[in-house]
Chains A and B, each alone.
Chain A
């Protein structure tokens, strides 16, 4: 059945239609939540809250945009609000990131390659969290979730041009903040 039809049926209260939409979009919504929480249970709770929110707001959805974009927008806003409430979305001071990563870098030599790689990924994500919120958001949506410029533009309600320039600035900032670690560990490839 076509997605618009499923949305219309869901709006008229058919649980089966809404269940089909949930099954389709659940993995992506869960992934968005998991990426920030790094905890399956917390991500699952967030995903449930997002779908409940969408279900309640469904009668207001006018089918002007795609259901997926609309849902991802709800998901993005909900996750952002959740983290703001918890105080987790705020920028981590750069000094704090540095201390955390140094501890990991020192112990990395004793670990095997897989653990080392995991530590590096962790470092990049920690440094990402030291960026301003809007820059974290755009890197998350593009480089982690893999949304296209157009999708990001609709989710964040900004123009594709702004997506381009904000993403450029965010990546540049992230690279600059990561630069000292690379040189400390013996150049680029050590990261």
Chain B
């Protein structure tokens, strides 16, 4: 057996995890190898000094001192939990607002812009236009186009040029 292996087995033997049968091999090696015997003594001394350090008796009334702290911690924990939930709810709330706004934008029909004064007059029959011209007028989505159609429409109906509405 090589000394390196013997050292590993030696340390395992201190922990009682050396497989059966290897103990004899190790003992045989230790008998023959003075440097490994020295190693064994050193390890024994070292581990002995590590283990033998005295502990101390715990302070008395541990539970009596701990119990009020646990109660305090319990109360504080409820608040912390509440705070955590509140913090967690902020992004959820913002997400919901965003989704609602997006849904409102996508699903709800886009309302027409407010009528201009000219259109309002037209609706009140303040400006006389023929029926097809009025229909064309309301087909236009853009405000500028509607204004132009209204302008040229009235000119076509009443103006001197006599241009008809396209």
Chain A residues with CB under 8 Å of chain B are: 15, 18-19, 22-23, 26-27, 30-31, 34-35, 40-41, 43-44, 47-48, 51-52, 55-56, 120-121, 124-125, 128, 139, 142-144, 146, 149, 164, 167-168, 171-172, 174-175, 178-179, 182, 188-189, 191
Chain B residues with CB under 8 Å of A40's CB are: 56-59
- Contacting residue for B63 out of A22, A52, A172, A178, CB 8 A: A22
CB distance from A82 to the nearest CB of B (A): 17
Residue pairs across A and B with Cβ atoms less than 8 A apart, 10 shown, are A31-B55, A35-B53, A52-B69, A55-B73, A144-B50, A144-B51, A171-B11, A175-B39, A178-B42, A189-B45
CB distance from A149 to the nearest CB of B (A): 6
Q: Which of B26-73 contact A (CB under 8 A)?
A: 38-39, 41-43, 45-47, 49-53, 55-59, 62-63, 65-67, 69-70, 73
Query: SS class of chain A's interface: helix, strand, loop or mixed?
Result: helix
The reply to whether A44 and B47 form a contact with Cβ atoms under 8 Å apart is no
* With A15-B70, A120-B49, A149-B15 as contacts: A27 and B58 at CB distance below 8 Å: yes
Chain B residues with CB under 8 Å of A47's CB are: 58, 62
CA distance A48 to B62 in the complex (A): 8
CA distance A155 to B11 in the complex (A): 21
CA distance A191 to B47 in the complex (A): 12
